Structure 1
């Protein structure tokens, strides 16, 4: 139970680009990656903007046999997993497959594939759907397909807690490492850009109806009016420290602590959540990491862009950290990727440690009353050794994760 879980590979497929380097370059240049939805005509919907993965060619990452049997969100998972494995330089062929695993998060699975098949069922005279309909939409499809593709035969898991699940996956990966597994792929991707998926999301009344990419999604700002949805996410390779050191791996950072809480009630319009439970998740994660709030160099918030939610989260951060800890978010630039966004925040935090630079909070020129925090407003050189990532899921989920620069001793 003393095994340490470190991160040795980053895989990113997001509106910021494909690959960790492309992602870092995008968030540092600060340009918005939001735009009008191109995957279908959104003109009949109140929401027309999204964060789409640019120039993504699934044929580069998915063979034709798997492509016809899977949804776009799983294609993103294939690509991000391959990026993470390549970045880590781990050779799975030399490992016992039962010492490898996958723990990914998903909000709703393969909506685009499912909608296409149901439309065929309604419109075609033979009334048939693909034999893959039963698995391609399933929220665990990416975990299953990635584990089969790479022969990862250990304890595999799928986490479902809206955005919070993207952090829960790293907690699950660390627990799995402590039980004896050597390598776990963790994180998550999302494919929420289809007519059916968008209709489902509209029911939360949290999506922005703005049409200007520069102002539609402004967490913690006056006039914030919801979020812009995004696709993609990140998959990271979590590894047993001893195994990583034996093979001479390059270590990005370490999973030090985590905590998950719940508000104990369903979310309703105007409900910003339970500040006490958000603060408790942050506080317990620090306790489990054996770190003090004063040790933290940066916080990546959930930043949902709904005024009530932003005020609750800001108050919880002030309660735990005071008002001086640097806070930064790039969601206004890339969109809210649900589970994939939380995983992407972990990748960003690790890159901030690698380069000792805090990326700017996108587009925040004025802070809304009640959201006063020490926001990073421009890229800032700073020695970064400890980061806290916060994520909140619709219907009351709260998760906090502490990641730190790898040190020889705990």
Structure 2
């Protein structure tokens, strides 16, 4: 067994496209999935835009028995997992499923399901609360439901570190493969576009209040005014490289070759934020120098002080305008734990096709010192760095490398 852990399958559920090719076509063409909320009436809220997955009818994808058991988050995750397994040409009927596990991330669990059941409790009484509430709201429910549906009985778990969680889950999946697991399905999918979830997100004070979708989420722009939340994410199939080749894997998208995570010092301590250190750890783990990275997929908070912190970390490691930087999440919104796995999937597609996708609608402010990609840039991509930060001080960095 090698120490190379590779991605052999991708499942994408995104506001601007579900499925690898639909998403990738939209992203390269700068087609956004951000618009006015339609899942509930947002008129009384100060922020009214979100990245929604429109046209998703769960009954078209999942058995009817699963629908009343699951939150929208889990429904999206189950379909994404189906796509990833199909893309990797993995049949769980023909394999030892004790060697296959699930490692996902979550930021909030099944908020919409929880809201519905609380409304039943308050308005109708406890006898109208679903027994499925006992698990449908829980952070680990995506892992559990994916495992049950696909018979994946190997090492499994969940990571909760807000927006950084998707990278942390992939890193833990890499560790499990290196320890001997045949396959780990990993990533993150979130969906909290409901009144309860919206009220919770508004408490951060970081949501954009802009009414125009193309001006609402502008990281590294002088007009940045917060971020737009979204729903969805990506799930990936991780395998040992030698094992994947022995089973005749249809494709290998790339290798997860480095990872670093840090935690910021407490506010007011006077100590430097720790994102730069996470990047340095990830590069060292991958055995790469900064000059060997072809593109950085930014966390892109869209909040000026957080954008400044990230830009300072990038320029400190790579230099002034020394590496292309992109943030395609400007077309989807920030997807909670699903954002960074979607960036990982996007980076792997950039490697496959030799094109860095754009940061939509943004006019880069020169003071950040970044080479921000705002139109598709056709260039060979063999390495990529993906960054993610979570509320409260989480920082994670993941290095991807082509195996071609």
TM-score, scaled to structure 1: 0.95
Tell me the CA shift for residue 251 of structure 1.
Answer: 0.3
Aligned to 2:402: 405
Aligned to 2:383: 386
Report the secondary structure of 1:258's partner residue. strand
Q: Does 1:285 align with 2:286?
A: no
Aligned to 1:63: 63
Q: Would the alpha carbon gap of residues 161 and 220 (structure 1) be closer, same or farther in structure 2, given more than 3 Å must change? A: same
Report the secondary structure of 1:163's partner residue. helix
User: Quick one: distance in 2 between partners of 1:2 and 1:281?
Assistant: 25
Any idea what the Cα deviations from partners look like across 1:26-70, whole Å, max 9, x if unmatched?
111112221110100011111100000121121232211111101
Report the secondary structure of 1:55's partner residue. coil
Count, aligned residues:
401
Any idea what the Cα deviations from partners look like across 1:252-306, whole Å, max 9, x if unmatched?
000101011001336xxxx9x9754100000110000011111000000100100
Aligned to 1:298: 295
Aligned to 1:141: 141
Aligned to 1:122: 122
Report the secondary structure of 1:211's partner residue. coil
Aligned to 2:49: 49
User: Quick one: distance in 1 between partners of 2:48 and 2:366?
Assistant: 25
Q: Does 1:347 align with 2:345?
A: yes
User: Quick one: distance in 2 between partners of 1:108 and 1:294?
Assistant: 37
Report the secondary structure of 1:176's partner residue. helix
User: Quick one: distance in 1 between partners of 2:122 and 2:132?
Assistant: 17
User: Quick one: distance in 1 between partners of 2:2 and 2:276?
Assistant: 27
Q: Does 1:361 align with 2:359?
A: yes
Aligned to 1:233: 233
Report the secondary structure of 1:120's partner residue. helix
- Give the alignment of 1:154-193 within 5 angstroms: 154-193=154-193
Aligned to 1:252: 253
User: Quick one: distance in 2 between partners of 1:274 and 1:74?
Assistant: 39
Report the secondary structure of 1:89's partner residue. coil
Tell me the CA shift for residue 125 of structure 1.
Answer: 4.7
Tell me the CA shift for residue 372 of structure 1.
Answer: 2.1
Report the secondary structure of 2:65's partner residue. helix
User: Quick one: distance in 1 between partners of 2:138 and 2:337?
Assistant: 16
RMSD, matched Cα: 1.4
Report the secondary structure of 1:238's partner residue. strand
Q: Would the alpha carbon gap of residues 126 and 201 (structure 1) be closer, same or farther in structure 2, given more than 3 Å must change? A: closer
Tell me the CA shift for residue 363 of structure 1.
Answer: 1.1
Tell me the CA shift for residue 126 of structure 1.
Answer: 5.7
Tell me the CA shift for residue 127 of structure 1.
Answer: 4.9
Aligned to 2:374: 377
Q: Does 1:108 align with 2:108?
A: yes
Tell me the CA shift for residue 2 of structure 1.
Answer: 4.7
Task: Judge conservation of contact 1:275–1:312 (CA < 8 Å) in 2.
Answer: no
Task: Judge conservation of contact 1:230–1:337 (CA < 8 Å) in 2.
Answer: yes
Any idea what the Cα deviations from partners look like across 1:309-365, whole Å, max 9, x if unmatched?
000000000011112100011122210101101110000000000000111111122
Structure 2 spans left out of the alignment, 5+ residues = none
Report the secondary structure of 1:164's partner residue. helix
Task: Judge conservation of contact 2:297–2:325 (CA < 8 Å) in 1.
Answer: yes
Task: Judge conservation of contact 1:265–1:395 (CA < 8 Å) in 2.
Answer: no
Report the secondary structure of 1:297's partner residue. coil
**Would you identify which runs of 4 or more consecutive aligned residues in structure 1 move more than 4 Å?**
273-276
Task: Judge conservation of contact 1:275–1:315 (CA < 8 Å) in 2.
Answer: no
User: Quick one: distance in 2 between partners of 1:333 and 1:372?
Assistant: 23
Tell me the CA shift for residue 96 of structure 1.
Answer: 1.0
